[in-house]
């Protein structure tokens, strides 16, 4: 079965800085016994840093191969305004992702990341990425300090409309070193209304804020939800209930499979999370057809990837031809 992981990141401190993981360590430290040795925090820090060391994505490719994941969407986050004491490496990160696409041909789809406070310079960088470097979407991260409805983002959404690419916005809690403001599904309502030709993906909203996200996805044709970051829910035994809730709401054509690599890598590898969904199909929570929608078809439609039928027949997809026409 073909699979697209619609939500992941390159595991390197240039992409996911140490400050980002400090918040996760703070939370885990509070769960330790009061008499825990100080060395345990150091061990947690070392563990997160070790899991965030895969700059060439060779380990990720190996994980994808074991899990049967054909392609992964790598999302860039612009942390420059959220962590002003850290070096601004955004251009270097863009260049690194271009190299990753060359190193692993056909395996990665890259979304440009931008903070709208970069203004015209940011707009020019995103357009260059979409026009010249085959980046295929825009990633925004409101916890860095802006609303997804901010008018400063509208020129960027206009670029996405021009080039026919989607926008993925983070939804829900994140590292405690960042704000949780502007992370509810309703925060993106005005943008989705004003840009009906742009597909908006609510990152993690298939797991958190499900009812608010589901309302938008049900009534706005251009709103989708991804299921990345579902690993803790799966560990708690909630995955069946989440999928059945979406199924009862008629939203299975609006769901995208995702893993959020390497954020939840501590809880297991890509194959484990793919197998969790396959097991849902084996037990009748999803049909094989519905699993195919979530694993591939829904994302392929948004990303203008070949359909499963065209791949099986060995013929070019018209969707791929359209995408290539837009990017030339």
Position 178 scores a pLDDT of: 94
Tokens of 126: 């995103």
pLDDT at 186: 96
* Average pLDDT, rounded, for the chain: 91
Neighbours of 186 (CB within 10 A): 12
In the chain, DSSP assigns E strands to: 4-8, 71-75, 108-113, 138-140, 167-170, 200-203, 223-226, 255-256
What sign does the dihedral 109-328-194-296 (CA atoms) show?
negative
The full DSSP string for 179-223 is --TT-SGGGGHHHHHH-TTS-EEEETTTTSSHHHHHHHHHH-TTE
Pick 68 or 233 by higher pLDDT: 68
Which range has the worst mean pLDDT, 90-94, 173-177, 189-193, 254-258? 173-177
Q: Are 130 and 112 in contact (CB under 8 A)?
A: yes
150-180: string of b/e by CB count within 10 Å (b at 16+)? beebeebbebbeebbbbbbbbbbbbbebbee
From first CA to last CA, the distance across the chain in angstroms is 31
Overall pTM > 0.85: yes
Is residue 186 within 8 Å of 212, Cβ to Cβ? yes
Task: Among 138-147, 172-181, 229-238, name the most confident range.
Answer: 138-147
Q: How confident is the model at residue 35 (pLDDT cuts 50, 70, 90)?
A: low
Confidence of residue 232 (pLDDT cuts 50, 70, 90): confident
Could you tell me what percent of the chain has a pLDDT over 70? Answer: 91
Neighbours of 227 (CB within 10 A): 26
Look at residue 157 and tell me whether its pLDDT is greater than 60: yes
pLDDT classification of 97: cutoffs 50, 70, 90: very high
Give the pLDDT of residue 324: 33
pLDDT at position 276: 96
Decide if pLDDT at 139 tops 80. Answer: yes
Backbone angles phi, psi at 126, to 5 degrees: -65, -45
Confidence class for position 36, pLDDT limits 50, 70, 90:
low
Dihedral (C-alpha) 104, 109, 115, 119: value to the nearest 10 degrees? 100
What confidence tens digit (pLDDT) does each residue in 200-220 have? 999 999 999 999 999 999 999
- Please check whether residue 136 is in contact with residue 165, taking contact to mean a CB–CB distance below 8 angstroms: yes
pLDDT for 103 beyond 50:
yes
Q: What is the model's pLDDT at position 61?
A: 98
What the block records as the tokens of 131 is: 């026009």
Q: 288-311 pLDDT, tens per residue?
A: 999 999 999 999 999 999 988 778
Rounded distance between C-alpha atoms, residue 253 and residue 218, angstroms: 10
Examine the pLDDT at 268 and tell me if it is beyond 90. Answer: no
pLDDT at residue 150 tops 90: yes
* 327 pLDDT higher than 50: no
Provide the pLDDT confidence category of residue 320 given band limits of 50, 70 and 90. very low
* Domains of the chain by start residue, with CATH: 4-15+56-327 (3.20.20.140), 17-51 (no CATH)
DSSP 7: E
Q: What is the four-CA torsion angle of 252, 258, 263, 269, rounded to 10 degrees?
A: 110
Residues in contact with 140: Cβ distance below 8 Å, sequence separation at least 6, in sequence order = 113, 114, 116, 148, 153, 156, 167, 168, 169, 170
CA atoms within 13 A on the CB side of 319: 15
- The answer to whether 256 and 297 have CB atoms below 8 angstroms apart is no
pLDDT for 323 beyond 60: no
Q: Is the pLDDT of residue 181 over 90?
A: yes
């Amino acid at each position: 079965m073909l699979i697209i992981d619609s939500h992941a990141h390159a595991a390197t401190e240039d992409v996911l800085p140490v400050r980002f993981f400090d918040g996760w360590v703070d939370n885990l430290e509070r769960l330790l016994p009061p008499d825990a040795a100080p060395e345990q925090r150091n061990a947690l820090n070392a563990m997160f840093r070790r899991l965030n060391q895969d700059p060439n994505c060779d380990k990720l490719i190996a994980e994808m191969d074991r899990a049967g994941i054909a392609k992964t969407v790598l999302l860039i986050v612009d942390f420059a305004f959220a962590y002003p004491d850290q070096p601004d490496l955004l251009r270097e990160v863009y260049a690194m992702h271009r190299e990753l696409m060359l190193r692993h041909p056909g395996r990665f789809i890259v979304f440009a990341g931008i903070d709208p406070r970069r203004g015209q310079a940011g707009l020019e960088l995103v357009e260059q990425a979409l026009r010249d470097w085959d980046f295929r979407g825009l990633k925004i991260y409101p916890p860095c300090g802006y609303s997804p409805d901010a008018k400063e983002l509208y020129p960027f959404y206009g670029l996405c409309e021009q080039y026919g690419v989607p926008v993925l916005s983070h939804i829900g809690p994140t590292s405690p070193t960042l704000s949780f403001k502007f992370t509810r599904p309703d925060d993106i309502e005005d943008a989705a209304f004003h840009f009906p030709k742009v597909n908006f993906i609510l990152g993690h909203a298939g797991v958190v804020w499900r009812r608010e996200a589901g309302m938008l996805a049900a009534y706005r044709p251009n709103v989708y939800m991804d299921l990345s970051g579902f690993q803790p829910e799966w560990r708690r035994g909630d995955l069946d209930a989440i999928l059945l809730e979406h199924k009862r709401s008629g939203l299975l054509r609006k769901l995208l499979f995702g893993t959020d690599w390497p954020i939840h890598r501590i809880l297991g590898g890509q194959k484990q999370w793919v197998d969790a969904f396959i097991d849902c199909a084996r037990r009748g929570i999803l049909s094989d057809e519905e699993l195919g929608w979530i694993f591939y078809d829904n994302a392929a439609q948004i990303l203008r990837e070949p359909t499963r039928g065209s791949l099986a027949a060995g013929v070019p997809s018209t969707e791929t031809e359209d995408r290539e026409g837009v990017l030339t």
